[in-house]
Amino acid sequence: MSEPFPTEAAVRAGLDAQARPPGSLGRIEDLAVELALIQRTATPRADRIALLIFAGDHGLTQDGVSAYPAEVTPAMVATFLAGRAAANAFARAVGVETTVIDAGVAADLSHPALVDAKTGRGTKNAAREPAMTPDQARLALARGAEQATAALDRGADVLALGEMGIGSTASAALLMHRLAPAPLDDCVGVGTGHDAAGLAHKRAVLARAAGRSDATAPLEVLRQFGGYEIAMMAGAIHGAADRNAPVIVDGFICTAAALVAVRLRPATRRVCLFAHRSAEAGHGRMLQALDARPLLDLNLRLGEGTGALLAAPLVRAAALLSDVASLDDVMAGRL
């Protein structure tokens, strides 16, 4: 007979009965409760965490919204596959498996460890036309769900999301503008490192993009302004939710994907664990729109899943709280 789903009250009662003052582990106790409710068990697991890094290019870069050229995207994919990126270093430090997925890089890529899920060779320029077709948006969502399912089938207990794509903060800002919703100026930040002139130009391009379409329906907003990697991360959250698997959401761009996922399927919010508040302008407000409390605040703005990786040990620790002895067992010598 299967274990009944625990209630929040039951999980908290079990934590309060442990051999320590109730509430003494603060947010880690809250995280333990979240994991138990997501996995629908009083003994959650987070031994194996899998990072999925989705890579894609954005047509918006044609209008100079990034301080870096689009050629950086395939170069960084090669760096991930060589194990030499910051995400690789952090993954080794915390014992997390990493999979790199070509969601829509505007280059021909080939590597035995690269997952080819390319939906297109970069999106169209959203300042001038829809970023993708409706069929491409739906396909990217479906392929993201497939990647989540595959990682869970390989034995992952928890998924972590990361991304790579020059122009991605511009796309994420437009998604936030429509889906949070929030004024566009509150959503646009320096991204990879704009100076004042570059930021002003980025704002102007994104204002032109926003003025091109009045879309507010989530799927239409995604296809007008999104990126293939963002769509696939949203789909991955849907796939994880179908399996009651927690997802550690990284920074600004990953949170935009979570916003898309939740606006499309509100119930999927329950599986999202938000790793950190990034230094990108707008991230705090987007977290508020999702009623999310991030675990860390380290002034990060790299992406790649680096914040999610740094939060991974906290998730593992929270899951292991179910192994802590009760005060009754301690006092009775039943250890």
Residues labelled as active-site residues = 304
Residues paired with 159 in a beta bridge: 50, 247
Residues 6+ apart with CB under 8 A from 147: 52, 54, 99, 101, 115, 117, 232, 235, 236, 239
289: nearest Cα among 181, 189, 171:
181
86: nearest Cα among 250, 236, 247:
250
How far apart CA 28 and CA 43 sit, in angstroms, is 15
52: nearest Cα among 164, 161, 165, 143:
161
How far apart CA 165 and CA 102 sit, in angstroms, is 10
- In this structure, is the dihedral angle defined by the CA atoms of residues 143, 234, 169 and 294, taken in order, positive or negative? negative
Q: First and final CA of the chain: distance in angstroms?
A: 27
Given the DSSP bridges, would you call strands 272-274 and 114-116 parallel, antiparallel or unpaired?
unpaired
Which helix (H) or strand (E) covers residue 55, if one does?
strand 49-56
226: nearest Cα among 167, 150, 154, 159:
167
Maximum CA extent, the chain: 71
Peptide bond connecting 181 to the previous residue in cis, omega within 30 degrees of 0 = yes
How far apart CA 5 and CA 34 sit, in angstroms, is 13
How far apart CA 233 and CA 143 sit, in angstroms, is 9
Q: Are 187 and 199 in contact (CB under 8 A)?
A: no
